[in-house]
Structure 1
């Protein structure tokens, strides 16, 4: 047998031994909640089954170099999107990658990291759905679409407490980034199978501190789960579904989970959705719905359950 034949056999054997991972994309603007949504899924599945990949690691410039560029971190030219697409293709076929690493605490690009594919790979970031090539790698795609005033508040809190910015710097950056957000980030919404909005309910005058509700647009681009078991009339105070119109006028199912519901009703809704989706275990994992160390959100938990359903169904 020639060396070429041996190499072909090795490659063929290695591909057959690998099980193709399921790739989930979570896209959205800066501080839209991407890491919070993604982390609950990763923690629920465990590191042996699920890997989290941030597209921030594909920054072309560090924070100091970026300050001298004619665009912000929201612009595609500020990222190695071609390398990201290549890496997604490798991961989607069960092959490892040597991933760049961006350290948010210092604003520096540091030593690359070897990433071996696991059963599920969650990819979160600013531009995972920007290119057609990258979009083709994902089994399920999500766009987080909070109201701008909510997102801006989240960004100020996060960047001033964990990333070393002042409030004045964050507010100035938000103004500078707005044109590129409109041009490059928000158009990804059109490519998402599920669009999620965490926000107060406009028609209500809930007191400060009331947990945010969630509205999920469930597009027909993927097979959506049957939630009829969980959407009983008695559950309408906590969760309901209605037919809505998408931005392009097409009909979509819109699932609403109310943050203002009582703790008892929220706990019941979580259990009913968990069983309606046929997920493993008698109760949802504690990792779902977690916001920080001490706060939980039922709308977040149910959103994460729906995404878990999709990735596990794809894995099967």
Structure 2
């Protein structure tokens, strides 16, 4: 189906799901963002899936290939397009499953349609047709030094690699990351970079964002700022900065103002921003920003 026809069909579907894509390179923070959103929305009304499950080859088979999992040829892109079209129109799919713990392709999983669908992975914004399936698009772009450290920590703890193996794989993937992963940044509504000093967020005018200028003027908090700038493509955007050492009370003030602008009754979800046993304020406000977009498009609030 052409991407323009897909957009038209979605516009005509009164009961279609609200879809968000969270794209980015390996260990950029996609799963952490997604986990908080699902916890806030509730599994009755939301479902998440990872398009890395559409890998064409298992880990053993990939060792003899001239490309890495970042390359479209290493993924069933056409099946991914077909499945996301079905989900975007409220239809179930039988999704493949790639087990990252052992690198094997396992039993497919039935994904039923939900009012809110969160899609994360390496290539969810790779084609026009994929992009036409989404209401909100996000790209994660942490500094490469930070992402490298996150990937080493994750892959050694959870996937059985040594630090030397992780670094070698990063070097092997660099060309394909530049060719296939990073260009998705240009087509995202929101570009997020978590770093050592906090989070920076580019808000493109392709969707309506919270009124951060008014929110910050009203709350008078320190540690959060917004300015008008241009992104690397030369497009005027709002740049939101959230400091790592933002005081929880200031974070509460900004979060409440965003929640009030949404018109959401009840209390803010307590699950946002959780990292292990602590709350990270930049992560909390970024997750709340994405929650704002999902709920404003749905006209609903999270389950209690």
Q: Which residue of 2 aligns with 1:278?
A: 263
Residue of structure 2 aligned with 1:230, choices 215, 221, 225 = 215
Residue of structure 2 aligned with 1:30, choices 26, 31, 46 = 26
Asked if 1 retains the 8 angstrom alpha-carbon contact of 2:219 and 2:253, the reply is no
Tell me the distance in 1 between the aligned counterparts of 2:37 and 2:296: 14
Secondary structure, counterpart of 2:211 in structure 1: coil
Q: 1:271 to 1:223 in 2, by over 3 A?
A: closer
Residue of structure 2 aligned with 1:107, choices 94, 103, 115 = 103
Confirm whether residue 299 of structure 1 aligns to residue 282 of structure 2.
Answer: yes
**Shift in Å, 1:305:** 1.1
Q: 1:305 to 1:263 in 2, by over 3 A?
A: closer
Secondary structure, counterpart of 1:230 in structure 2: helix
Q: Which residue of 1 aligns with 2:239?
A: 254
Matches within 5 A, 1:37-186: 37-186=33-182
**Shift in Å, 1:92:** 0.6
List structure 1 segments (4+ residues) > 4 angstroms apart after TM superposition: none
Question: Could you list the per-position Cα deviations for residues 171-230 of structure 1 after superposition, in whole angstroms to 9, with x for gaps in the alignment?
Answer: 100111001000000000001000011113xxxxxxxxxxx4111111011122223442
What 5-or-longer segments of structure 2 have no aligned partner?
A: 1-11, 300-304
Asked if 1 retains the 8 angstrom alpha-carbon contact of 2:248 and 2:281, the reply is no
**Shift in Å, 1:286:** 1.7
Asked if 2 retains the 8 angstrom alpha-carbon contact of 1:243 and 1:252, the reply is yes
Tell me the distance in 2 between the aligned counterparts of 1:310 and 1:233: 21
What 5-or-longer segments of structure 1 have no aligned partner?
A: 1-15, 201-211
Tell me the distance in 2 between the aligned counterparts of 1:188 and 1:129: 6
TM-score normalised by length of structure 2: 0.91
Aligned residues: 288
Asked if 1 retains the 8 angstrom alpha-carbon contact of 2:28 and 2:147, the reply is yes
Asked if 2 retains the 8 angstrom alpha-carbon contact of 1:215 and 1:254, the reply is yes
Tell me the distance in 1 between the aligned counterparts of 2:239 and 2:190: 10
**Shift in Å, 1:107:** 0.7
CA root-mean-square deviation: 1.7
Q: Which residue of 1 aligns with 2:8?
A: none
Question: Could you list the per-position Cα deviations for residues 31-90 of structure 1 after superposition, in whole angstroms to 9, with x for gaps in the alignment?
Answer: 000000111001100111110110111000011111111101111111001101100100
Q: Which has the larger radius of gyration?
A: 1
Q: Which residue of 2 aligns with 1:266?
A: 251
Q: 1:309 to 1:31 in 2, by over 3 A?
A: same
Tell me the distance in 2 between the aligned counterparts of 1:150 and 1:97: 35
Q: Which residue of 1 aligns with 2:199?
A: 214
